[in-house]
Structure 1
Amino acid sequence: MESLRARLTRVGQSYAPHDHRPLGGYLAAMGGFTALAAALAATAKITGKPAPERPSAADVVLLSLATHKLSRLIAKDSVTSPLRAPFMRYAEPAGAAELNEEVRDHDNTFKHGAGELISCPFCLAVWVATALTGGLVLAPRLTRLAAVALTATAVSDFLQLGYDAAKKAAEGD
């Protein structure tokens, strides 16, 4: 009988014959996300903390901005590069304290898939939004406080970039 790894390799080669797609790594990521969502749902059920009927618009905006910031912080920030180092290789600076990196291990589909996930703010946003939303149900005060700090940082980032652009415009650059 064909092993799961061999089958995934065969399916991956027929799926994308001219490009390496780490389908096994993607399956592992989907399994991890499913486990996260199930754990949050189970914890909410066990603790008796119901999901809100309808989240407030303020919470949606707060968590959206916090999700943006935390996703970029994990995926691109220079300071968080040690978290990505086992999966990524430094390529070049990307401006505003961010880095461009490349997936380190193309032969190991699980490490490759994890590298793509951990270095992509768009991919991470689903995980971060799910965790923050779960936090809003399980520990709303603490989650809102953390989200406020992340949101304030995101707004500050945009103000810093706007200030730099205005300064360069004033100097004629």
Structure 2
Amino acid sequence: MTAADTARYDDQDDTPLTGYAVLAGTFATGLAAFTAAVRARGVRPPRDVPPWDVALMGAATYKASRLLANDKITSFVRAPFTERKGDGEAAEVMDEPRGKGVRRAVGDLVSCPFCVSVWAAGALVCGYTTVPRATRLVCAGLGAVTLADWLQYAWTWTQQSVE
């Protein structure tokens, strides 16, 4: 392997490492600013997080990330950074990132539910720290939608099995 080979991150040499660094820095800076703000206000994080709250936030994180990364109605959020490549299952769409640098990095983020889930979970944890009752309510709503989605899939599967 030559020095030129190690200078490239991937075969296409189009991985937006600087853009990824900007996004990671933004996430870390936001978390640090949140931490400083709540400390200044004297807010203390919860001593314990019950397993049912973890499950509730997990379901909410799942649904929030799917809504942001794949839902038709949130296409306006992704449109500056992605382009439509096709339809997914149910009301979901498949978008691919466009552009270069930070624009491409944001496109990678907003078109990937696994990537968005970290940001969604971060927002929910911040909410849980400062307004736990309201955050639980939001999580319960998103959790209910998650359950409804699974019931819709089960109903569709049952109908297809009968036919």
If the length of structure 2 is used for normalisation, what is the TM-score? Answer: 0.92
Contact (CA 8 Å) 1:12, 1:21: kept in 2 or not? no
Give the distance between the partners of 1:168 and 1:19, measured in 2 at CA: 45
- Alpha carbon RMSD of aligned pairs, Å? 1.7
The farther-off stretch of 13-22 and 48-57 is: 13-22
The farther-off stretch of 37-46 and 142-151 is: 37-46
Q: Give 3-state SS (helix, strand or coil) of 1:15's partner.
A: coil
> Which residue of structure 1 aligns with residue 93 of structure 2?
99
**Are residues 1:29 and 2:23 paired?**
yes
AA at the equivalent of 1:166: T
Give the distance between the partners of 2:27 and 2:88, measured in 1 at CA: 28
Q: Cα deviation per residue 1:108-139 (whole Å; 9 max; x = unaligned)?
A: 21000000001111011111111101100111
Contact (CA 8 Å) 1:25, 1:110: kept in 2 or not? yes
AA at the equivalent of 1:54: D
The farther-off stretch of 130-139 and 17-26 is: 17-26
Where structure 2 has 5 or more consecutive residues not aligned to the other structure, the ranges are none
Q: CA deviation at 1:160?
A: 0.3
Give the distance between the partners of 1:77 and 1:12, measured in 2 at CA: 38
What is the count of residue pairs matched by the alignment?
160
If the length of structure 1 is used for normalisation, what is the TM-score? Answer: 0.87
In structure 2, relative to structure 1, the CA distance for the partners of 1:12 and 1:139 (3 Å cut) is: farther
2:145 is matched with which residue: 120, 129, 153? 153
1:130 is matched with which residue: 98, 103, 122? 122
> Which residue of structure 1 aligns with residue 111 of structure 2?
119
Alignment of 1:7-156 (within 5 A): 14-105=8-99, 108-156=100-148
Q: CA deviation at 1:12?
A: 9.2
